């Protein structure tokens, strides 16, 4: 079984070929990512129209390269998995239209998959099947969501951010202290040189229900509202605290931050982010008697987060799984893996009537 994955939900055009021999382990044959970061850097963030146009330019070449790297031709491909959502609609449309066109022309089944199912399955692609039940934190530029996986391929949302995603907070803090875009990897490097206790930024706490409460989460029976809130995340207050600190330290912008001050701000900010992410993840692992913890998504590339998660996992005796850095940020290999998961569950694609869904909600089972 050989599947082609296609991903175009944000600012990376990606294609990958993954094999499954009698189930597991899944084998990565190729993974090609055309990043648009140079285009969006000028604007300090992703510009949706520019992203969609660049996907259109890149998609054919990226798929050809993925097939060539996998020493495959279209006749070797048994199915196509494509990101249906969530994401930017113009970007998603490029991948979805491409997949449907090839599916129709060559009579290959097309499986639409959820972007976050892809991030979750990147863990299995990289590490082999996880022990279940598992708790997986998906932490990226667009998402900070906690899932309970009672068994393979079943994803139950137990918490999510009420405002900014963690990666978004990294990008905004990088901007505030005058570092480049995207900020995550730069803040990560600067944090390693700074003092994480130099500044006492507040640990985000959700003490009241707010208007941003999203779809119903799946907490066990008998959990009260107070506990329910504790599985959610919030990063906008922390971002504001960093902004205030920078304003005060620079006298309202009348002097520049020193390199040491920048290192210390990055380290202190990162300490709070890591503690917030891991407190909730490990608490959820306790609730669900998890036998494994996974951390996926772009922020899972963070060296400080990886080290802290592994240390904490070792302390409580729960193994922590992360993907390789290449599989943590957006890629199509994870989308192919999520497609294989659905194939294993008996999904053979079918109608090409589906469309790109910018606000796609993940089905529970």
* Selected range binding ligand KG4 among 18-26, 136-144, 211-219, 226-234, rule: CB under 6 A: 136-144
Name which of 165, 166, 157 is nearest 215 in CA terms. 157
Encoded one letter per residue, x for contact with Zn ion by CB under 5 A and - for no contact, window 323-352 reads -------x----------------------
Give residues 94-153 in contact with Zn ion (rule: CB under 5 A).
140
> What's the CA gap between 321 and 312, in Å, rounded?
12
- 182 contact, one of Zn ion, ligand KG4, none, CB 5-8 Å limit per kind: ligand KG4
Quick one: 219 or 332, whose CB is closer to ligand KG4?
332
**Residue 188 touching ligand KG4 (CB under 6 A):** yes
Name which of 333, 343, 327, 362 is nearest 111 in CA terms. 343
Give residues 282-321 in contact with ligand KG4 (rule: CB under 6 A).
297-299, 301-302
Query: CA torsion 201→203→208→209, rounded to 10°?
Result: 110
> What's the CA gap between 174 and 185, in Å, rounded?
10
- 302 contact, one of Zn ion, ligand KG4, none, CB 5-8 Å limit per kind: ligand KG4
Quick one: 191 or 300, whose CB is closer to Zn ion?
300
> What is the rounded end-to-end Cα distance, in angstroms, of the chain?
23
Quick one: 23 or 180, whose CB is closer to ligand KG4?
180
**Residue 170 touching ligand KG4 (CB under 6 A):** yes
Quick one: 2 or 31, whose CB is closer to ligand KG4?
31
Positions touching ligand KG4 (CB under 6 A) are: 10, 140-142, 167-168, 170-171, 182-185, 188, 297-299, 301-302, 329-330
């Amino acid at each position: 079984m050989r599947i082609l994955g296609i991903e175009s939900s944000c600012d990376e055009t990606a294609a990958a070929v993954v094999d499954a021999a009698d189930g597991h382990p899944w084998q990565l044959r190729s993974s090609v990512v055309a990043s648009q970061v140079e285009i969006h850097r000028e604007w300090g963030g992703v510009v949706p129209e520019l992203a969609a146009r660049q996907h259109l330019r890149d998609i054919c070449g990226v798929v050809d390269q993925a097939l060539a790297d996998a020493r495959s031709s279209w006749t070797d491909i048994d199915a196509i998995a494509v990101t249906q959502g969530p994401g930017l609609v113009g970007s998603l449309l490029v991948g979805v239209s491409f997949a449907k066109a090839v599916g129709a022309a060559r009579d290959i089944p097309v499986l639409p998959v959820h972007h976050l199912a892809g991030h979750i399955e990147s863990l299995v692609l990289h590490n082999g099947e996880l022990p279940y039940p598992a708790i997986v934190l998906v932490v990226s530029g667009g998402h900070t969501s906690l899932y309970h996986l009672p068994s393979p391929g079943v994803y139950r949302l137990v918490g999510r951010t009420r405002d900014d995603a963690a990666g978004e907070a990294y990008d905004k803090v990088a901007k505030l202290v005058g570092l480049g875009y995207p900020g995550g990897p730069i803040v990560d490097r600067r944090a390693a040189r700074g003092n994480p206790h130099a500044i006492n930024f507040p640990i985000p706490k959700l003490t009241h229900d707010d208007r941003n409460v999203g779809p119903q989460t799946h907490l066990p029976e008998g959990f009260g509202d107070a506990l329910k809130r504790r599985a959610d995340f919030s990063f906008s207050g922390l971002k504001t605290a960093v902004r205030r600190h920078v304003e005060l330290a620079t006298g309202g912008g009348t002097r520049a931050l020193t390199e040491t001050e920048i290192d210390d701000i990055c380290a202190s900010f990162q300490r709070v982010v890591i503690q917030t992410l891991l407190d909730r993840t490990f608490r959820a692992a306790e609730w669900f008697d998890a036998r494994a913890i996974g951390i996926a998504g772009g922020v899972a590339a963070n060296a400080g987060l990886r080290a802290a998660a592994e240390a904490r996992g070792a302390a409580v005796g729960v193994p922590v799984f992360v993907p390789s850095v290449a599989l943590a940020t957006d890629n199509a290999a994870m989308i192919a893996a999520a497609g294989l998961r659905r194939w294993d569950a008996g999904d053979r694609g079918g109608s090409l009537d589906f469309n790109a869904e910018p606000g796609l909600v993940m089905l529970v089972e």
